Every structure is written in structure tokens, then in C-alpha cells.
Chain A
Amino acid sequence: MRAAGTAVAGACLFALAQAAGAAAPAPPSGATSCTGCHPASAKVETKVPRLAGRNAAEIVAAMQAFRSGQKPSTVMDRIAKGFSDEETRAVADWLGAQQ
């Protein structure tokens, strides 16, 4: 009962915090799609690199090279062409900030 009471009090505090605070910013356009292939978890071992926590500038450079064809690829050329420089930068920054 005591635990439940503490939880109830916690829920109320959270309600107040939520009422007072602003909503967290949403991930940039397209960003959450990436983990379909690029593992979110470090436990998954594949040839497809994990992007979370990676240097954002490196991601941007890779995307530009995929888009121009300078860097050979199978699917990434087709995906990179769907994003502007600005969108690519935003996605890279977001991925870089992930744990």
C-alpha cells in the first residue's frame, strides 16, 4: 500500500510537471526510419553500420557521397536522393545525439 501511495504521489508530481513543461521536440523528418536497417541496438551484429552516436559530419559526408555516386552503394544512393542537405544534416545531428 505504501508503495502504491508513493507511486500515486509520483504520478501527481508528474502530472504537474507535464502541465507546466513543454513537449519534447520530435525527431527530424525521416530520422526514425533509419533503424529499420541500421541497428538501434549495439547488440545486433551486421555489416550495416549502427548510426546512433556517430559523428554527424561523417554521416552527412557519407550521404552526400552516396547521393553523388562517389561512394558505391546498393540502396543508399536511392535513399540519399530523397533528402535535401538541410534534412540530411538534421537527421545526422539527431542520429549523432542518440545513445
Chain B
Amino acid sequence: MKRRVAASRRTFLKRALAACAVLVPLPAIAQAAPRVVVVGGGFAGATCAGTLRRLDPKLNVVLVETNPTFTACPFSNGVIAGMRALRAQQFNYEALAGLGITLAFTPATRVDPQARTVTLGADTVLPFDRLVLAPGVDFRWGAPAGYDEAAAGRMPHAWKAGEQTLLLRRQLEAMEDGGLVAISVPPNPMRCPTGAYERASLIAHYLKSKKPRSKILILDSKDTFPLQRSFQAAWQELYAGLLEWVPLSNDGKVVRVNPATNTLVTDFTEHKAAVANVVPPQKAARIAEIAGVADRTGWCPIDPATFESSLQRNVHVIGDAAISGAMAKSAFAANAQAKACAVAVKQLLDGATPAAGKIINTCYSLVAPDYGISIVGVYQAVNGQFVDVEGAGGASPADAPRENRALEATYADAWFRTITAEVFG
């Protein structure tokens, strides 16, 4: 169905180009309806596609995404903790289609940066003037040892929202009071670096009221994490004795799991959990590697002025897959990068030279439904990489009054509604 739409568009374009060829010289034709293909319909890709069409309604924009329903990760910890329905996380692409974006619900399988084509499925070849890759992350299955896709059916990662989110919620609901919940946190870089601590907090909130004899353990591959002082102050205040954080230096790193027994193994300890949530280490999703835009780290180096890949011309990378320096891999960052990228792509198509601008990131975390904290950054490009603007940004003060926590929880909710409205209409 979608393939036919795309094909008829191409036929139309071919006819349009053929007709123009008689009238105007070739360079002008190339500008007649530049083709931008965006791969990935998350916060980054969907924002970029929409922004491009708003900047120039004549652009030919194709959004490639495998799933017609988008399930947002931010706030999905609230679903796990029984505070909200998964439905509240779900969005579709109808508003983007209404902007005149061509939707292709077929996986991108190949990218040829030289020929400027992207292949969908087995044989649908889309030409592009500019390609924007916003594919998100893939897991490095096999880390910790024993953690593969089958294991995720027993020990959910819930790090891509959807069925996994519900599985973790069901396991918590089914757990008897007094059980041990364990969360394994991978090393950086990872999607949503505050997410595991928010998750632990909201699970603790659930346990405190529903199963107060239980315990939640964060087994961490790191010794520090963002918003650490604010989180720890809140844990002391709200969840003392219920929630424990075990850093890397205190034998926190999970090196092996046994799904059959729900056991997480560190260097010196075996933790047998009632509910085990394993967040695996990550890398840019596979299509980035196929396109040749991922480097040896597994992530994608970019030019901060344009988000164009440092490895392939005419291919841009935004969102979690990109190496964006000091910027966290968050939905806010993905949305902000996508808008900056769309502006740059439009300028490049117009023959202008984009300048690197400042960019903002704001990440909210809920420690309880009415207790929000945030980490903020303002970034600028220095020597080809985004760095913090000195004197700006930072975490909510660890000693802020409780009314500020309530306000930040309200603003967190407002942020989710605002950003999803901007991206999905």
C-alpha cells in the first residue's frame, strides 16, 4: 500500500523532472523538489521530517519507519510503576502524513551514500538528495553474558517501550511482598542516562505502598550518574531501607545472568531476584553500521553544524545514534537536534552554509509522582563537538524546597504533552 504511494510519487517526480528539463537548466531542476529521506520515526526522525515540511512544504520528504504505532520511552517508567497506561505513551503518524510527508512502513535495509539511494525491504529503492538517519539504538546482545533476546522474555530490558514495558509491570504486579527487584545498569553511552534511577525510584514508590517488605537493588556498571546528589537525597527521604544503589566499585557490575533462575551475577555476588530488569549495553542501530556512518565505538560521529556524518557525505545522523558530545541521549535532545538538523538540511539544499548554533537539553526525572528533578544543559560546538556552555546548565539543587519538586513534576508532565504534540500533532 505504502509502496504504491511512494512509487506513484516517484513516477510523478520523473514526469515533473522530464517536463522541466525542456524548460530550465539541470542545476535548477535539482532544486525543484529536493528529496529528503528520514529513517526512523522516533522523537528525532519524526521531528526532523515534520520540521522539514514546515520549513518548505515543497520538499519531498519520506519517513521510513517499521512500526505504524510509536511507543514513547519517556514516562514509560510510570507505566511500569502502575501510574499510567501504555496507551498514554502511544502515537501515530497521521498528523505527519497530513503535512504531506510520505510514510513508508518498511524497514530500510541498505544505504548507498555514493549513489544516494536507500533500499526499503528487498527491492524498493528510494533516491535522496539528503538522508537523515534517526534509527535509535540496538542492544549489544550477549552482554552481560547470557543476556540475549530469549532471556529478555524472562528478564525484561524494557528499554524500548511497548510489550517489554508491560512485561516488567506484570512481573512487579505478580511478585509477592518481600521479593527482590534488581535493575542492571550498563556502562555509558546509553539511551536516557537518568532513566534507570527514575525507574528504580518509581518502582520503589509502587513497592512502598503495595509491597512494603520488598527491596529494590540497582546493580550499576558505573560509579557516578547524572542527578546523583538529587536522586540520593530523595531516596534517603522517601525510600530509605527500600532502595539500594550498588556502584561499580562496590561490586555493582553484572557480568552474567541466568534467566532460568532469574539470577544476576557480579564478580563476587549472585543476586537471585524475584524480578530482574536488565538494561543491556547499547550502540547505534544496525542501519547506521550498514550505511557506514558508525565508527568503531558503534556510534555515529557528526558535524555539529549540520549533523552530517563525519564518515559519509549527504547522510545526517540525529538522536540517540549520534555522537553529540556532552549532550545526553534523551528525547528532548533528539527533538532539539532534529530541528537544528532540519534547518541545516534546508540551508544545504538551498546552497547556503549552516553555522553551528547552541542547542538545549532538559531531562526531567520523577522520583515520585509529585517529586520531579531535572538536569539541563546548554551546548555549543567547540572543535567539532558539542560541549557545555560554561556557567549554564546543571542539576536541580539537592537541597531545593519540596514545592520546587512538585513544580518540576508538573513541568515534566507538561513537557511530555508539549513535545509529543509538537512531534506527532
Contact = CB atoms under 8 A, between A and B. Distances in A.
A36 B418 contact: yes
Contacts of A81: 378, 389, 391-393
Interface of B: 12, 15-16, 19-20, 23-24, 27-29, 31-33, 51, 55, 58, 332, 335-336, 339-340, 343-344, 346-347, 350-352, 354-355, 357-360, 362, 374, 376, 378, 389, 391-394, 396, 404, 407-408, 410-411, 414-415, 417-419, 421-422
Given A14-B58, A46-B418, A78-B378, 15 more contacts: A11-B33, A11-B58, A19-B24, A26-B347, A30-B358, A33-B358, A37-B362, A37-B411, A39-B421, A47-B410, A75-B376, A78-B392, A79-B360, A82-B389, A82-B393
25 contacts: A8-B20, A9-B19, A11-B58, A12-B20, A12-B24, A14-B32, A15-B28, A18-B32, A19-B24, A19-B27, A30-B360, A30-B378, A37-B419, A39-B421, A40-B422, A41-B421, A44-B421, A48-B415, A48-B418, A74-B396, A79-B378, A79-B392, A81-B393, A83-B378, A83-B392
B392 A15 contact: no
A14 B23 CA distance: 12
Given A15-B28, A81-B391, A29 B358 contact: yes
A83 B391 CA distance: 10
B16 A33 contact: no
B358 A12 contact: no
Contacts of A29: 355, 357-358
Question: Interface residues of A toward B: which range?
Answer: 35 or more
Given A23-B352, A48-B411, A16 B24 contact: yes
A15 B378 contact: no
B335 A36 contact: yes
Among A34, A37, A82, chain B packs the most CB atoms within 10 A around the CB of A82
Q: Pick the 7 closest A-B CB pairs, nearest first.
A: A82-B378, A82-B392, A23-B350, A46-B414, A29-B357, A30-B358, A33-B360
B352 to A, nearest CB: 4
Interface of A: 4, 7-9, 11-12, 14-16, 18-19, 23-24, 26-41, 43-44, 46-48, 74-75, 78-83, 87
A55 B16 CA distance: 44
A51 to B, nearest CB: 12
A16 to B, nearest CB: 6
Contacts of A34: 360
A18 B28 contact: yes
Given A15-B28, A23-B352, A82-B392, A32 B343 contact: yes
A78 to B, nearest CB: 4
A37 to B, nearest CB: 5
A27 B410 CA distance: 29
A53 B354 CA distance: 25
Contacts of A23: 346-347, 350-352
Given A14-B32, A46-B414, A48-B418, A74 B336 contact: no
Contact of A74 (B58, B374, B392, B419): B374
B24 to A, nearest CB: 6
A36 B362 contact: yes
A39 to B, nearest CB: 5
A16 B355 CA distance: 26
